[in-house]
Amino acid sequence: MRNDDCWCGSGLKYKKCHMEQDEYLKKLSKEVGYKIPKDIIKTPNQIEGIRKSGVITHAILDLMEEVIKPGVTTEELNKIAHDYTIEHGGIPAPLNYGGFPKSICTSINEVVCHGIPEDRTLKDGDIINVDVTTILDGYYADASRMYIVGNASEEAVKLVNDTKKALELGMEQVKPFSTVGHIGHAIEGFANENGYSVVYEYGGHGIGTKFHEEPFVAHVGDPGEGMILLPGMVFTIEPMLNIGKPETRVLRDDWTAVTRDGSLSAQWEHTLVVTESGYEVLT
Ligand code: MF3
Ligand code: CO
Ligand code: CO
């Protein structure tokens, strides 16, 4: 009822809190023909929280630009990211997530994702993805970039740049009443035209008050497939492109995902929110 306390626990009256959004969701559910879960659409307050968390994630990825060079260990990168997060009032989301032992993921060369920082040193010609997720005041912001260590092969540099382009093309599909399938289709089409395969065993994800929420954001697919995108939805896009085949396997450490054929892999990631006219990057 409009004068009751809101269901969200804010202590505000329902009419002053979630009533408007609930009515909006009811109307949208009717339009799209299925019930849209409440927590898929973030409130302006929640979006602001994720945006603030994203400032830390972004700053750490900038910092990596300065410190990644031949001779540095991924454990050193982990410590720099961990300390920066704590100093800015945040918590590194990966640490102890499902038993993950470190604060960032560092994925080198044929590692697709979820590489664990260790005392291995980076060497000239390596390509590395650093994946950072911050929790600030309970809000999650997840992003990753590729870095080239010293001088890499032309093929490796092209893979890195083309994977960034794939993320950008995916993001361009984001607007109200588009679908997750539009994103996957754009990424897959571009990747295949350029001779790459797209990893289908991992994908982007809803995010906000948890690390991984609905929907699953496949980086392959067709327009119209998957969830319909609506204003206030927050999710990641994080395509992984391989020079060889798309299949992956997980190493004995239970985390590190590598290409089965040992070919190079690259990934870029952003967290974004669907707006009335398109999208805003939050990282
Ligand atoms: N940041 C990764 C993602 O983009 C998830 C890492 S989970 C971890 O979804 F446990 F490996 F950190
Ligand atoms: Co992610
Ligand atoms: Co990530």
Residue-wise pLDDT tens digits, 43-61? 999 999 999 999 999 999 9
Ligand 1 pocket test target in 116, 211, 253 with most atoms within 8 Å of CB = 211
- State the number of CA atoms in the 13 A half-sphere of 244 facing the CB: 14
Please spell the DSSP secondary structure of 233-255, one letter per residue.
BEEEE--EEESS-S-EEE-TTS-
Whether the predicted model's global pTM rises above the 0.85 cut: yes
The ranges of the chain with pLDDT < 70 are: none
pLDDT for the residue 68: 98
Within its chain, how far is the Cα of 149 from the centroid?
23
- Considering every ligand atom, which ligand is closest to the CA of 144? 3
- Given the candidates 3.90.230.10, 3.20.20.80, 3.30.70.260, 2.60.290.11, the CATH classification of the domain at 38-281 is 3.90.230.10
pLDDT for the residue 8: 77
pLDDT for the residue 136: 98
pLDDT for the residue 39: 86
- State the number of CA atoms in the 13 A half-sphere of 263 facing the CB: 17
pLDDT for the residue 180: 98
Q: What angle do CA 231, 232, 235 make, to 5 degrees?
A: 110
Ligand 1 site residues (CB inside 6 A) read 94, 97-98, 100, 105, 114, 131, 133, 142, 205, 236, 238, 255, 269
CA–CA gap between residue 214 and residue 282 (Å, rounded): 18
- Summarised one tens digit per residue, pLDDT across range 61-100 is 999 999 999 999 999 999 999 999 999 999 999 999 999 9
**Residue at token pair 């496949």:** 218
